[in-house]
Structure 1
Amino acid sequence: MDYVSLTKTNRLYWLGRYCERVLSTTQYMMYWYDSMIDGAAIDYKDYCEKMGIPADYESPEAFIQEYIFDKENAFSLRHAAEEMLANGMVLRETISSKTLAYIQMAVNALELGKTDSAPGVELQWVVDDVMAFRGSCDDFIEEEFVRNIIKTGISIERLSLYLRLGYNLENVAKEMKKMLNRLHKSGLQTNAMSLGRIYLYGNENQLNISDEDLLKAVENLVVL
């Protein structure tokens, strides 16, 4: 692997994590937003508990608005998007200006959606822009290990959300294999105990590892 500073490695990894957090959270919130329009109740307090974040919202409607669009809320989707952009700005020379532009477009879409009474279109733009960012990474980032650091962050964040929220659990083993393949190509340092647990889980879960313990292993896997 070519030399890359620890600071840059950290930013690449978290760029991937925030990228996936923005994408998956946007898709999750779009589903909830549609459900609210149809008159269904949403249990945002349960969601916040699973995510380990405060549930200090006056109503489900306030949760949707503030959790998606309030950049001053450190746990919000908008805040994650701002962190994604901040990492991308520092990494401009590494990821290219063309790739960075898609991140900026996603943040702009959230800003537009904040004042829209029906922000479904803007949220779809966020999804489209983040997906375009991923495609642009493959097209414009020459160093394979750099791409794989970002992709490892993406996979780890996706696994974290699967395990925290208890959805798409049938895809955990498949995503785990994808993550390990990316990890080995990234040159990232790993926690040996966490890596061992993940391997045992992938090998027909020989230790009957719980979702909670697996989440801890995933979150502690990469050493930065």
Structure 2
Amino acid sequence: MGIITVDKSDHLFWLGRYTERVYTTLKYYFESADKMIDENPEYYDEFCRKVGILNVYGTSENFLRTYPFDENDPNSIISNLNRAYDNAIVMRDYIGTETMAYIQLAIDDIHNADRGVAAIADLMLAIDHILAFWGCVNDMIDNEQIRNIIKLGKGLERLDLYLSLDLPDSDIIREYRRMKQFLAKSKLRYDESVINTVDSMISDSKLNHRNIKNLLRNLITE
């Protein structure tokens, strides 16, 4: 299979990050859509603030209609899924055609949702295909380092989003501990002082989500 160079590691890492970004933001999109429809039409502004993107949508109707589908919006779900596919296709010989195919199926789901009348159902299929992609990562990729680099990217992205969304501290601690396992096995260079600092913060009775997020964004050094 060859040596996993820095460049290849970067593609694998971002493959993990982008697939997780699509998965978690799509789930949050569903929750937010319910709130916009049932409670607060302006909730999309909080969605943008929490996810860390500019609110360029103008109305809740425009947000609901375009955020998943607009390929000209660099923050949209489809744009992030396309980036995942770009990284997957470069690494096709390392992750396998079947594994990569599930990302293509998720892209097809988004396009079908944009064109069709059963948008929510098709968007839910995209989530299912991302889960199938991760299943293939576990089952079809023999190289443990490749698996762990992808999972490290996934874990760091999930942590970043969970911290941004202010999910319960118990969820943050669980995902942080999982991420550390993948970090140790990935063989990537990282800043040990970041881990030491976050380890000490994890023991606090109330986590400072913003500080932890800022620290973890400087974890990987290559």
Task: Give the TM-score normalised by structure 2.
Answer: 0.93
Is the Cα contact below 8 Å between 1:69 and 1:76 reproduced in 2? yes
Counting aligned pairs with the same residue, the percent is 31
CA–CA separation in structure 2 for the residues paired with 1:139 and 1:42: 42
Q: 2:164 aligns to what? A: 164
* Superimposed CA distance per residue, residues 46-86 of structure 1 (whole angstroms, 9 cap, x where no aligned partner): 22223332111120111122211111101111100000011
Name stretches of at least 5 consecutive residues in structure 1 with no aligned partner: none
Deviation at 1:27, TM superposition (A): 1.0
* Superimposed CA distance per residue, residues 15-65 of structure 1 (whole angstroms, 9 cap, x where no aligned partner): 000010111111111222344444653512122223332111120111122
Is the Cα contact below 8 Å between 2:155 and 2:178 reproduced in 1? yes
> 1:1-224 alignment to 2 at 5 Å?
3-38=3-38, 40-202=40-202, 204-205=203-204, 210-224=208-222
* Superimposed CA distance per residue, residues 69-124 of structure 1 (whole angstroms, 9 cap, x where no aligned partner): 11110111110000001100111000000100101000110011112344111111
CA–CA separation in structure 2 for the residues paired with 1:153 and 1:201: 22
Count of residue correspondences: 221
* Superimposed CA distance per residue, residues 104-150 of structure 1 (whole angstroms, 9 cap, x where no aligned partner): 00011001111234411111101100000000011111111110000
Is the Cα contact below 8 Å between 1:32 and 1:42 reproduced in 2? no
Is the Cα contact below 8 Å between 2:109 and 2:122 reproduced in 1? yes
Query: Amino acid of the residue matched to residue 6 of structure 1?
Result: V
Which stretch shows the higher mean deviation, 162-171 or 82-91?
162-171
Structure 1 residue ranges, 4+ long, deviating more than 6 angstroms after superposition: none
CA–CA separation in structure 2 for the residues paired with 1:85 and 1:30: 23
Which stretch shows the higher mean deviation, 12-21 or 186-195?
186-195
CA–CA separation in structure 2 for the residues paired with 1:196 and 1:52: 26
Deviation at 1:195, TM superposition (A): 1.7
Query: Amino acid of the residue matched to residue 108 of structure 1?
Result: D
CA–CA separation in structure 2 for the residues paired with 1:118 and 1:180: 40
CA–CA separation in structure 2 for the residues paired with 1:78 and 1:71: 6
RMSD of aligned residue pairs (Cα, Å): 1.8
The verdict on how the C-alpha distance between 1:112 and 1:18 changes in structure 2, with shifts beyond 3 A counting, is same
